[in-house]
Structure 1
Amino acid sequence: MTRAHAYIACLFVVIFYSGNILVGSALNELPPITVAFFRVAIAAAVLVPLGWRSAWSNRSAFRRHIGPLLLLTLTGVTFFNTFIYGALQFTSATNVSVLEAIIPVATALLSAWLLRERLRLVQWAGVLVSFLGALWVVMGGVVDHALGGWNVGDLIMVGAIMSWALYSIAVKRYLHLFPEYGTLLVMTSLSVAVLAPLVALEWAIVGVPELGQWAYWPGLAYLGIFPSIVALLLYNRAVSVLGASQAAVFLNFLPVVTMIGAFLFLSEAVTAAQVGGAGLVIAGVILTTRPARNKQ
């Protein structure tokens, strides 16, 4: 994959993850762990014919590197989306997408610390501009609302931010140890095992949802295929070409795409602060993804 192809892959990742937020918001009548559980269960079922041979033939690699495998699974597959669906119970799809834009800041800091990746000054400036744009949206364009503008859903998103930042680092460091489709099958299957007792506990507390309603299943199928499989494959390949920091910065486009989708499909209002923050986010992405000049 070339750098140009990696950038295109990142754009499709943004589109699919924007759909993850929009569909997750549309399904917020279902409890969050229930949505996360059926997402990974559907993904695992779809991946069986694609990945079972690879998973079986590489079973010794999975056993040998069980620690990195669990880190990849828990951060990128199991809990990242569980946090998102939990946040959508309390806050808007636009806010969730804006807060995801903070992920590159956490990823860049962790990459510099753990992977010794060096960001140029212009890239740090891009990360800062994107972060300020995201913060401006959460604050509603009013500086003294920095704390008052946050709600429970916004705070839950902190867990999602840290989960994906750690996943991005783990992808760069450990994913080469495992086969592609077989690893996705193993990670989704492990996530099913982890979430099964949690969803049983959720049902014991809030009651068993009415899963017989046909309206839920197209959305759950989308979550299980596009964000869970297609987007993850594209993102993993993009990270291997661009590095964790630059690939993660593309997530800053999420507020823009999600804002449009939320306005069109969820009837969410779009404010001037959101539009202004989205402009800053785009500017930050452009700065951060500028290629370095070759020195002769």
Structure 2
Amino acid sequence: MQQQGLKLAYSFAVLNAVIIGFSFLFTKVALGHAGPLDTLTYRFAASFIVMSVPVAFGWVKISYRGKPVGRALLLAAMYPLGFFTLQVFGLQHATSAEGGILYSFTPVVTMIIASIFLKEKTTLLQKLCIFLSVFGVVFIFVMKGSSIQLSNMTGIVLLFLTCLAFAGYSVLARSLSRHFSPAELSYLMMGIGFATFLIISLTGHAASGTFSEFLSPLTSGTFILSAVYLGVIASLVTTLTSTYILSKIEASLMSVFTNLSTIVSIAAGAFFLGEDITVYHWIGSLLIIAGVIGTNRLGRNKPGVQVAGWSESV
């Protein structure tokens, strides 16, 4: 039974990478119709509304009584609030390529934080494989002619903080999986994300007298489809599955799967946008895949890592 749960967790990890890889495409489409904050508002509106239906009918049981809600709110502050806010403003001061390069370091940051707070142990081979997957992503971007420009330091700092936010989320979610079900954590996170981004967006439009711009994207079927994908699939589904994954495997092992999304985004760009796939795309992709497989196969720790220490101290 435990082995079956592990297989399901790894399947979800690959699925999440595929979903996130396609989310870049849908985000580009959505941003063509609405600003970043409005897009985030509709994204989390879709996720919160869809999940509210089974909760309202009692098909999904939600209860926060007697549980560490304060730590769950901290989780929501890291993701989605911190992650997406930092990402939006970071990309205003840096390029999407710089964002991709910096985001690839998330597994490294997660490994460090997980080793400190969850006492997760990784072997030397696992560490090398994590760095191999990161190198695969960086290799692809560098060969495309992308680099990190120090003149974009504000954006670089904000984008690096997104790594910290996601790493913190991964570590804390693994700790909280002892107290909350995936549905309980996901519903709280989606609700806080929706309420916060809605207030910020409406306040901004009210101050500038542009409320009509907030509603205008709803006239586009393409935008609605993109918002539904980003909200329901890329936010709600991945949050539910991520919470389940983190209840079964270590945060440091799960985070390396995020680099697989680079491969998916390359494939999506080639299939839907006609972008070229070159030899360096193949080499980088093979390095990423080798890194992911190696991290999870070489010297893998037994499941059931001790998480109680941090969950009781945060």
SS at match of 1:118: coil
Normalization by structure 1: what TM-score? 0.84
Aligned to 2:55: 51
The answer (yes or no) to whether the contact 1:138–1:150 under 8 Å persists in 2 is: no
Structure 1 pair 146–56 and aligned structure 2 pair: CA distance change class (3 A): closer
Aligned to 1:9: 12
Aligned to 1:176: 178
Question: How far apart, CA to CA, are the structure 1 residues paired with 2:64 and 2:245?
Answer: 25
Q: For each residue in 1:196-238, what CA deviation from the matched residue of structure 2 results, as whole angstroms up to 9, or x when unmatched?
A: 2321244345942422222210110111111122222112111
Q: CA RMSD in A?
A: 3.1
Aligned to 1:234: 241
Among 299, 303, 306, which residue is 1:292 paired with? Answer: 299
The answer (yes or no) to whether the contact 2:98–2:148 under 8 Å persists in 1 is: no
Equivalences, count = 291
Alignment of 1:56-135 (within 5 A): 58-61=63-66, 65-84=68-87, 91-92=95-96, 96-135=99-138
SS at match of 2:132: helix
Q: Which runs of 5 or more residues in structure 2 are unaligned?
A: 303-314
Structure 1 pair 96–15 and aligned structure 2 pair: CA distance change class (3 A): farther
CA deviation after TM superposition for structure 1 residue 36, in Å: 1.2
CA deviation after TM superposition for structure 1 residue 13, in Å: 0.8
Question: How far apart, CA to CA, are the structure 2 residues paired with 1:294 and 1:106?
Answer: 19
Q: For each residue in 1:269-296, what CA deviation from the matched residue of structure 2 results, as whole angstroms up to 9, or x when unmatched?
A: 545544433332222112111153899x
Question: How far apart, CA to CA, are the structure 1 residues paired with 2:36 and 2:161?
Answer: 14
SS at match of 2:65: helix
CA deviation after TM superposition for structure 1 residue 54, in Å: 8.7
Structure 1 pair 70–106 and aligned structure 2 pair: CA distance change class (3 A): same
SS at match of 2:120: coil
Identify which range, 271-280 or 69-78, moves more after superposition: 271-280
Aligned to 1:39: 43
Aligned to 1:157: 159
- Residue 252 (structure 2) pairs with residue 245 (structure 1): yes
Alignment identity in percent?
22
Question: How far apart, CA to CA, are the structure 2 residues paired with 1:130 and 1:202?
Answer: 40
Aligned to 2:273: 266
Q: For each residue in 1:48-84, what CA deviation from the matched residue of structure 2 results, as whole angstroms up to 9, or x when unmatched?
A: 12234599862423xx523211122122223323444
Question: How far apart, CA to CA, are the structure 1 residues paired with 2:254 and 2:23?
Answer: 18
CA deviation after TM superposition for structure 1 residue 170, in Å: 0.7
